[in-house]
Chains A and B, each alone.
Chain A
Amino acid sequence: MPADFNWAIGGEAGDGIDSTGKIFAQALSRAGRHVFTSKDFASRIRGGYTAYKVRTSVDQVQSVVDRLDVLIALTPRTIEENLDELHEGSVIVYDGERTTMQGVEIPEGMVGLDVPLQSIAEEKGGAIMRNVVALGAACAVADFPIEHLDSSLEKRFGGKGQAIVDNNREAARAGRDYVHENFDHEFDYDLETTDNDYVLLNGDEAIGMGAIAAGCRFYAGYPITPATDVMEYLTGRIEQYGGHVVQAEDELAAINLALGGARAGARAMTATSGPGIDLMTETFGLIATSETPLVIVDVMRSGPSTGMPTKQEQGDLNQMVYGGHGEIPRFTLAPTTVAECFHKTVEAFNLAEKYQTPVYLAADLAMAVTEQTFAPEEFDMDAVEIDRGKVVDDDTIGEWQNEKGQFRPHALTEDGVSPRSFPGTTGGAHMSTGLEHDELGRRTEDTDMRVEQVDKRNRKVETAQEREPWEYREFGDTDSGNLVISWGSNEGAMVEAIEFLEEDGVDVRFISVPYIFPRPDLSEVIKDADDVIVVECNNTGQFADILEHDALTRVKRVNKYNGVRFKADELAEDIKETLSQEITA
Chain B
Amino acid sequence: MSSDVRFTDFKSDKQPTWCPGCGDFGTMNGMMKALANTGNDPDNTFVVAGIGCSGKIGTYMHSYAMHGVHGRALPVGAGVKMANPDLEVMVAGGDGDGYSIGAGHFVHAVRRNVDMTYVVMDNRIYGLTKGQASPTSREDFETSTTPEGPKQPPVNPMALALAAGATFIAQSFSSDAMRHAEIVQEAIEHDGFGFVNVFSPCVTFNDVDTYDYFRDNLVDLGDEDDHDRHDYDAAKDRILDASKEYQGVIYQNENSVPYEEQHGLTENMADIPDGAPDDAMDLVREFY
Q: Apart from A30-B288, A381-B284, A424-B64, what are 14 other A-B pairs with CB-CB below 8 Å?
A: A209-B283, A213-B280, A242-B267, A243-B269, A253-B72, A257-B75, A265-B83, A267-B269, A286-B68, A376-B284, A381-B276, A384-B276, A424-B44, A425-B43
- Assess whether A264 is in contact with B46, with CB atoms less than 8 Å apart: yes
- Assess whether B281 is in contact with A376, with CB atoms less than 8 Å apart: yes
Which 9 pairs of residues, A with B, have the shortest CB-CB distance?
A260-B79, A265-B270, A266-B269, A215-B272, A433-B67, A256-B75, A199-B287, A264-B83, A217-B269
- Assess whether A257 is in contact with B272, with CB atoms less than 8 Å apart: no
- A421 CB to closest chain B CB, in angstroms? 8
Consensus secondary structure, chain A interface: mixed
A253 contact from B62, B66, B108, Cβ within 8 A: B108
- A564 CB to closest chain B CB, in angstroms? 26
Q: Does B128 contact A (CB under 8 A)?
A: no
- A88 CB to closest chain B CB, in angstroms? 36
Query: Scoring B residues 71 to 100 as 1 if CB is less than 8 Å from chain A, else 0, what string do you get?
Result: 010011111111110110000000000000
Known contacts A244-B263, A261-B269, A265-B268; decide if A433 and B58 are in contact (CB<8 Å): yes
User: For residues 87 through 133 of chain B, which have their beta carbon under 8 Å from a beta carbon of chain A?
Assistant: 87, 104-105, 107-108
Query: Scoring A residues 189 to 229 as 1 if CB is less than 8 Å from chain B, else 0, what string do you get?
Result: 00000000111110001000100111101101000000000
Q: Does A435 contact B (CB under 8 A)?
A: yes
Q: Does A486 contact B (CB under 8 A)?
A: no
- B201 CB to closest chain A CB, in angstroms? 24
Q: Does B48 contact A (CB under 8 A)?
A: yes
B83 contact from A256, A266, A385, A426, Cβ within 8 A: A266
* Chain A residues, Cβ within 8 Å of B283: 209, 212-213, 237, 379, 381
* Chain A residues, Cβ within 8 Å of B63: 429
* Residues in chain A within 8 A of chain B (CB atoms): 29-30, 197-201, 205, 209, 212-215, 217-218, 220, 237, 239, 241-244, 246, 248-250, 252-254, 256-268, 282-283, 286, 290, 376, 379, 381-382, 384-386, 404, 422-435, 442-443
- Assess whether A197 is in contact with B79, with CB atoms less than 8 Å apart: no
- Assess whether A385 is in contact with B43, with CB atoms less than 8 Å apart: no
In the complex, A249→B110 CA distance in Å?
12
* Chain B residues, Cβ within 8 Å of A248: 75, 108
Q: Does B59 contact A (CB under 8 A)?
A: yes
* Chain A residues, Cβ within 8 Å of B59: 431, 433, 442-443
* Chain B residues, Cβ within 8 Å of A266: 83-84, 269-270
In the complex, A246→B281 CA distance in Å?
25
In the complex, A283→B68 CA distance in Å?
8
Q: Which chain B residue shows the least CB distance to A421?
A: B64
- Assess whether A256 is in contact with B79, with CB atoms less than 8 Å apart: yes
* Chain A residues, Cβ within 8 Å of B287: 199-201, 205
- Assess whether B105 is in contact with A249, with CB atoms less than 8 Å apart: yes
In the complex, A470→B58 CA distance in Å?
39
Q: Does B20 contact A (CB under 8 A)?
A: no
Interface size on B, residues (CB 8 A): 55
Could you give 17 example pairs across A and B, Cβ below 8 Å? Answer: A209-B283, A213-B277, A217-B272, A218-B79, A257-B75, A260-B78, A264-B269, A264-B270, A266-B84, A376-B285, A379-B281, A379-B284, A386-B273, A422-B270, A424-B87, A426-B43, A433-B58
**In this complex, which of B59, B69, B108, B264 has the most chain A Cβ atoms within 10 angstroms of its Cβ?**
B69
- B143 CB to closest chain A CB, in angstroms? 26
* Chain B residues, Cβ within 8 Å of A442: 14, 59
In the complex, A257→B48 CA distance in Å?
12
- Assess whether B87 is in contact with A423, with CB atoms less than 8 Å apart: yes
- B12 CB to closest chain A CB, in angstroms? 8
Known contacts A213-B277, A432-B65; decide if A424 and B84 are in contact (CB<8 Å): yes
Q: Does B265 contact A (CB under 8 A)?
A: yes
- Assess whether B83 is in contact with A217, with CB atoms less than 8 Å apart: yes
- Assess whether B276 is in contact with A258, with CB atoms less than 8 Å apart: no
- A466 CB to closest chain B CB, in angstroms? 25
- Assess whether B272 is in contact with A430, with CB atoms less than 8 Å apart: no
* Chain B residues, Cβ within 8 Å of A433: 58-59, 66-67
- Assess whether A424 is in contact with B86, with CB atoms less than 8 Å apart: yes
Query: Scoring B residues 246 to 288 as 1 if CB is less than 8 Å from chain A, else 0, what string do you get?
Result: 0000000000000000011101111011111100110111011
Q: Which chain B residue shows the least CB distance to A201?
A: B287
- Assess whether B82 is in contact with A250, with CB atoms less than 8 Å apart: no
- A474 CB to closest chain B CB, in angstroms? 27
* Chain B residues, Cβ within 8 Å of A386: 272-275
User: For residues 23 through 55 of chain B, which have their beta carbon under 8 Å from a beta carbon of chain A?
Assistant: 42-46, 48
